[in-house]
Structure 1
Amino acid sequence: MPAQKLDGKALAATMRGEIATQVQARAAAGKRAPGLAAVLVGEDPASQQYVKNKHKACQDVGFATAAHRLPATTSQAELLALVAQLNADPAVHGILVQLPLPKQIDGEAVIRAVAPAKDVDCFHPENVGLLAAGHPRFYPCTPHGVIQLLTRNGVSLAGKSVVVVGRSNIVGKPLALMLMQKPTAANPAAADATVTVAHTRTSDLAAVCRGADVLVAAAGVPEFLTADMVRPGAVVIDVGTNNVNGRWCGDVHPGVWDVAGWVSPVPGGVGPMTITMLLHNTLAAAQQIDG
C-alpha cells in the first residue's frame, strides 16, 4: 500500500487562514499591519520566484509588503545601508534578505546586520543562540514547517527515533535542536525526540536511516534516499528542492512511497510550510514590536 501524503499545501492554506484572522483582529484593534521587507540582489531566477511567492503570500493574509530589488553589481556597503534603513523603519517588522548573494557581498555580515527583532528567517547569531538555549525569539522557517507538518498530521515525536540527514545552518542543525529539546512554555515547538544527525559522509548511512521512526532528508542531493534506506512504515520528510534537467525533485526517490507509511511530496510538502512559517514569524515580530 503506498504511503499516505503529508500535504503541506493543504496545511499551509489552513494556517494562513489562521494568520489572516489574527491580522484582521489587529486591524480591528487599530494596530498596524505586519510589514515584511524582502531584499533581492541580482537576477537569480529561483530567488526571484521565491520572493514573488512570498510577496503573494503576504498580500493574501493582509500583511504590508515591499520588495527591494537591487542590481547584481550592488556593493556590500549599499546593501548594508538599505538594511540599516529597514531596521529603523517602524512599519517594517520583518526583513528577509534573499540568499544567495553575489560574490562581492559577505553574506554573514549582512545576516549580522539585520536587527535580531526583525530577523524573521532566524539566521542572526543572537536568535540562533536563543534557539539553542531553549528560549527562541523565532523558530527557523523550514524546521518549524517540518515540525508543524508532522504534529498537525498526528505524528507523535516524543521519544521517537528521528534521523536528520543534513547539517546545514538553515535546516539540519536548527531542526535537530528543535526535535531534541524539551517542550516548555517558552519553547512550545520542541519535540522531545531522540535525534541522530547524519550526512552524506556518515558511515553506513543506509543502516542509520533504517533505524528511524521519522526520517528527514535534507542533504540537497537529488533522490539520494532510496527505499532500502527506509524502515517499512516510517515517516519520511523530504526537504530537498532540486532542479534536474528542468524537473523539480526532492531528496527522496519515488520508490520510498512503496515502503514508508507517510511521505511529504515535492512539490507541495515542506515548501508551502516554509513560507507559512515566515508569515508566522512576521506576525510574531509585529506582536513583539508593536504589541
Structure 2
Amino acid sequence: MANLIDGRALARSLDEETRAGVAERIAAGHEAPGLAVVLVGSDPASEVYVSHKIRACARVGIVSYEHRLPESTSQDALLTLIARLNVDPTVHGILVQVPLPPHIEAGVILGAIDPAKDVDGFHPVNVGRLSTGTGGLVPCTPLGVMKLLDTVIDDLTGMNVVVIGKSNIVGKPIAMLLLEREATVTVTHIETRGLPEIARRADVIIAAAGAPRLVRGFWVKQGAVLIDVGITRAAREDGGENLVGDIAIDEMEHAKAVTPVPGGVGPMTIACLLANTLKAARNAGKGQDGRD
C-alpha cells in the first residue's frame, strides 16, 4: 500500500503556526484577525462547512463574524453587506459560502469583495496576481495541495505533473502554483482524450474532477505521488453514505504516496483559510503584494 499523506496532522501543524502568529499580533498591541463568514440560505452541506470554519477560527484565536441570511435575500442586499464589510476595520477576511441561491450571481458577489480581504483567493485581482506571480491571496485548496506535496517531494523542478480538472477554484490555480515551482504541468479534464495514457507518464497526479474513483491503478506509474481533491458522497448498501475521492486508493499499492479521502486535502483547505486570514490582517493598510 502507498504511504498515506496525513492531511489532518499537517493541518494541525499549520494551525499551530497560525495560532502563534495571532498571539504574537495581539501581544504587539494589534487587534485579533477577524473573519466575516456569509451564508445565504440553508444548504445542508454549506451549513456544515460554515460551522467547521467558525470552530476552526476559535481554535486559533481568529474572531469570526457570522452573517446568516435567508434564501430570499436579494443580490443588492448581499452587495450592500459586502460593501459594509469591506470598510469595517475589524474584518480582515470575507468569505461568502457558495453555492449561492440561483437568483444571485456568484461572480458578481465574489468580485465585489475587497481583494485584500478575499481570503478565498477568488477575486479577479488575486487570480491575476497568482498567474503573474506577483503576490495576493492564494486559493485555499490549491495552497493546501502544495503544502501536502512539500511533505513528500523536496523539489518539483522538471517533474511531470498532471492535473485532472480545470475549474477556476482548484485546477487552474494549482497549475499556476506548480508552474511557479518549475514543474512541467499538463492540465486535463474528464473529456480529455487518452487521459489514462497521459496520466501514466506523470510523476504527480492531482485529481480534482469530482468523479468518484476516476483514476484507476493502471493509470498510475510506479512511484507516482497522488493528491485527491475530489470528494463525493456515495450510498452504501446499508443505506448510509461514504465519502469517495477521485482516486481508487485501494488500487494504488505501487504509488509512492497518496492522500486519503477524507483526511487529506479537506483539513488543509480550512487550515489555509485561517492562515490567509492572518496574512490579510498583517497586510491591512498595505498594497496587495504586502508592501507599504
Query: TM-score, normalised to structure 1's length?
Result: 0.94
Aligned twin of 1:187: none
CA distance in 2, matches of 1:7, 1:290: 36
Q: Does 1:273 align with 2:263?
A: no
CA distance in 1, matches of 2:161, 2:264: 18
Q: 1:201 aligns with which of 191, 195, 201?
A: 191
Instruction: Give the match's secondary structure for 1:163.
Output: strand
The amino acid of 1:207's aligned partner reads E
The amino acid of 2:162's aligned partner reads V
Cα displacement (A) at 1:154: 4.0
Q: Kindly, what percent of the aligned residue pairs are identical?
A: 51
RMSD, matched Cα: 1.1
- Measured against aligned partners, the alpha-carbon deviations of 1:226-248 in whole angstroms (never above 9, x if no partner) come to 10111111000000011112221
CA distance in 2, matches of 1:131, 1:238: 22
Q: 1:285 aligns with which of 280, 287, 292?
A: 280
The amino acid of 1:249's aligned partner reads V
Q: Does 1:20 align with 2:40?
A: no
Aligned twin of 1:169: 168
For residues 134-153 of structure 1, the aligned pairs below 5 Å read: 134-153=133-152
Aligned twin of 2:289: none
CA distance in 2, matches of 1:152, 1:237: 12
For residues 24-43 of structure 1, the aligned pairs below 5 Å read: 24-43=23-42
Cα displacement (A) at 1:215: 0.4
Instruction: Give the match's secondary structure for 2:163.
Output: strand
Instruction: Give the match's secondary structure for 2:284.
Output: helix
CA distance in 2, matches of 1:162, 1:85: 42
Q: Does 1:241 align with 2:231?
A: yes
Instruction: Give the match's secondary structure for 1:258.
Output: coil
CA distance in 2, matches of 1:109, 1:256: 42
Q: Is the 1:226–1:255 Cα contact (8 Å) retained in structure 2? A: no
Name which of structure 1's ranges 160-169 and 145-154 shifts more when overlaid on structure 2. Answer: 145-154
In structure 2, relative to structure 1, the CA distance for the partners of 1:289 and 1:154 (3 Å cut) is same
Runs of 4+ in 1 over 4 A off after TM superposition: none
Give unmatched runs, 5+ long, in structure 2: 236-240, 287-292
- Measured against aligned partners, the alpha-carbon deviations of 1:237-260 in whole angstroms (never above 9, x if no partner) come to 000011112221111113333221
Give unmatched runs, 5+ long, in structure 1: 182-190
CA distance in 2, matches of 1:192, 1:94: 30
Query: TM-score, normalised to structure 2's length?
Result: 0.94
Q: Is the 2:212–2:244 Cα contact (8 Å) retained in structure 1? A: yes
- Number of aligned positions between the proteins: 281
The amino acid of 2:260's aligned partner reads P
The amino acid of 2:88's aligned partner reads D
Q: Is the 1:217–1:252 Cα contact (8 Å) retained in structure 2? A: yes
Aligned twin of 1:68: 67
CA distance in 1, matches of 2:154, 2:5: 10
